[in-house]
Amino acid sequence: MKVKQLIPEIAHISSFKRYGKVNRVIGMMIESRGPQASIGDVCYIHLKDTCERIQAEVVGFKDEHVILMPYTSVRYIGPGCIVETTEKPLQVKVGPELIGQALDSLGNPLDGTSLPSYLPSVLTEQEPPNPLQRPPISEPIEVGVRAIDSLLTVGKGQRIGIFAGSGVGKSTLMGMIARNTNADINVIALVGERGREVREFIERDLGSEGLRNSIVVVATSDQPPLLRMKAAYTATSIAEYFRSQGLNVMMMMDSVTRVAMAQREIGLAVGEPPTTKGYTPSVFASLPRLLERTGTTEQGSITAFYTVLVDGDDMNEPIADTVRGIVDGHIVLDRNLANKGQYPAINVLKSVSRVMNHIVEANHKISAEKLRLLLSTYIEAEDLINIGAYKRGSSAEIDEAILYYPELISFLKQKTSEHPTLKDSVEILKQLFQKGERT
């Protein structure tokens, strides 16, 4: 690097360090008198009688005090501890060396190894791309899940919400997508997961095949809310880096609901008023800024799947409603289908891809609409059929739906070991309705 290029960097380097002192600790919040800092700046809190220091972030101000929240617990922090500001927000290292790794919210490998020092660093909080610099979504991306590729076709750079209650198969579906997709790289954020489930997801759902082309960012449920929230931003920053290198990135986040819960905890701690179901205004302001960062740019694309954990299978709860209004489509996992043994338990009648009509050919679209019509007709008459009240010949539409129904369900089911291509899924869908008139 030439000396002239270093001059602007040198000009912004402060010639002295700024310090403050902890005044009191309330719950998760730390109040300090000083140092001079901005919202989002990372600070070091030096513990008394030790050489240790912990990282904290400036989350607000009150009177003349700086309000910080630590990335770890508040244990061992007391009045008089020195607070040193870095005058910089959180940054993480990025590069191809991260592929195949499981990282924490700060971008450090969970296995205790260190990343190379030469890797570049990026800010975890970035502005979404300029809307006029987003190329339109024009081609599909292969997901490797038959029901999605054929009936809910996803485009490169599309953002999809996966809405489901607990235990309906979100992690299994994410693992199938990570293993089967033809994207260049996967970035997976596990936010607020149980500690037991992290290794299970990596070894069972993702597998060595999926991990070989993936980066996993983990924040477990026992960690402070700031770390849980930062996991989402760190994963998004890593995905943005690879997008800027011209790659097509597949990003998956499980779950946005837990990100919102972490933001709610932070908001309530700094004194924000609770609104809908206790969520603070900052939750509904931060979600669009986070979700809009993915998508297409002139360099590459980030195709994103965001899972939303709906309480009591209520699809209209506040976070589900907000996310559904931001993303470009939604996939609903139905507990009733899971109870019947249909996996993945995707309710195709309640799901929609908002870009599908612009990226598929006419015959594909016609076949998908035909399947939806037959499935909807059967479900509407299912009660009558099951109790024997329906007589064959009463309705030609219902008769046709009854004939096709077993094949439709067989088509929608898929074993985790299956790896259908996008082309194969579409061809099988078309062949369902190319066998001539049935008797």
- Residue 60's CATH number: 2.40.10.170
Does residue 188 share a domain with residue 226? Answer: yes
One-letter amino acid of 124 = T
Q: What is the pLDDT of residue 140?
A: 96
pTM (2 decimals)? 0.91
Position 10 in a domain: no
Structural domain range at position 389: 361-433
Q: What is the pLDDT of residue 6?
A: 59
Does residue 271 share a domain with residue 201? Answer: yes
- Which of 54, 88, 122 marks a domain boundary? 88
Does residue 402 share a domain with residue 276? Answer: no
Sequential DSSP letters for 21-56: EEEEEETTEEEEE-----TTEEEEEEPTTSS-EEEE
Q: What is the pLDDT of residue 50?
A: 78
Does residue 224 share a domain with residue 366? Answer: no
Q: Distance (Å, rounded) from C-alpha 60 to C-alpha 352?
A: 40
Half-sphere exposure of 38 (CA within 13 A, CB side): 5
Beta bridge partners of 66: 32, 61
Q: What is the pLDDT of residue 260?
A: 95
Q: What is the pLDDT of residue 439?
A: 47
Give the CATH number for residue 377: 1.20.1270.330
Cβ neighbors of 124 (< 8 A, separation 6 or more) are 89, 90, 91, 92, 230, 233, 234, 236, 237
Does residue 105 share a domain with residue 82? Answer: no
- Which of 62, 88, 114 marks a domain boundary? 88
Split into its structural domains, the chain has a count of 3
Tokens of 433: 């309705």
Does residue 216 share a domain with residue 157? Answer: yes
Tokens of 299: 């360099």
Consecutive 10-residue averages of pLDDT for the chain (439 residues): 58 69 89 90 89 90 89 86 92 95 94 90 94 94 96 97 89 93 96 90 89 95 93 97 96 94 92 88 95 96 95 78 94 92 94 95 95 96 90 92 94 93 95 67
Cα end-to-end span (Å), the chain: 76
Give the CATH number for residue 231: 3.40.50.12240
Does residue 56 share a domain with residue 162? Answer: no
Q: Would you call 141 helix, strand, or coil by DSSP?
A: coil
Does residue 183 share a domain with residue 46? Answer: no
Does residue 113 share a domain with residue 49? Answer: no
Q: What is the pLDDT of residue 290?
A: 96
Position 13 in a domain: no
Does residue 162 share a domain with residue 96? Answer: yes
- Which of 328, 358, 388 marks a domain boundary? 358
Q: What is the pLDDT of residue 15?
A: 58
Question: Which of 205, 201, 206, 207 has its CA nearest to residue 220?
Answer: 201
Burial of residue 283 (CB within 10 Å: 0-12, 13-18, 19+) is buried
Question: Which of 114, 107, 104, 79 has its CA nearest to residue 93?
Answer: 107
Position 4 in a domain: no
